Amino acid sequence: MTVRCVEVSSPYRVERVRLLGCGRWLMAVLLLISLPVLSDDVPEPEGYWTGPVNSEVPHTVTGGTVIHTQGLAGLLKAGDTLLIDVSNAPVRPSGLAPEATWLPLPHDSIPGSLWIPGAGQGNVAPDVEQHFTALLAQKSAGNLDQPIVIYCHERCWLSWNAAKRAIRLGYRHVYWLPEGIEGWRTDGFKTEVVQPQEPRGDGIKK
């Protein structure tokens, strides 16, 4: 029996694969390749992305800064950072009987985050856009130099769109976390369950 180690590289991880062979029989083959979160081959759209939400994303966001989990951890230690989660809210299954009870799974976010579902869509509903704008203005106290970190999931355009939206509102220190909550959790950082911040007429949840 022979043991051979093969090293497979990706932009973010290196997986060690052991191929085990015994005589003429190959006993096991295990190959784990991490898909890259960012791609140099994906250009930034001129406006907001309206294609498939879960697909390859660019490696830049013009007017903002790409940040990764370790960098975000350091930024949070400095304090005064506004965290925005724009993951979509769960949707009640269409085939579920009207009288049936439906309990969506708890939503995990980076501690201290505001969860604003819908704010990362390419075409945002007017009330959601007003709500997003009003929340940023309220939480930043109108300070356009307020550091703002926006995220959702890995390989997800929602956070890219929302970061672009914040940049167009005039915020000068917008950070985009492309690895999302999955990258944050994988790197061993804590999460907390949060509730969605939904529009309530005046754009701010009471």
How far is Cα 71 from Cα 86, in angstroms, rounded to an integer?
20
Q: pLDDT 10s digit of each residue in the chain, 206 long? A: 443 433 333 333 333 333 334 334 333 222 223 334 455 689 999 999 999 999 999 999 999 999 999 999 999 998 899 999 999 988 888 888 888 988 889 999 999 999 999 999 999 999 999 999 999 999 999 999 999 999 999 999 999 999 999 999 999 999 999 999 999 999 999 999 999 998 876 445 44
Query: φ, ψ for residue 99 (rounded to 5)?
Result: -85, -5
- Which residues neighbour 181 within 8 Å (Cβ) at sequence distance 6 or greater? 85, 87, 108, 109, 110, 151, 152, 153, 191
**Tokens representing residue 66 in the block:** 């790409």
For residue 54, the 8-state DSSP code is S
Q: Are 113 and 149 in contact (CB under 8 A)?
A: no
The two beta strands, 14-22 and 65-66, are unpaired
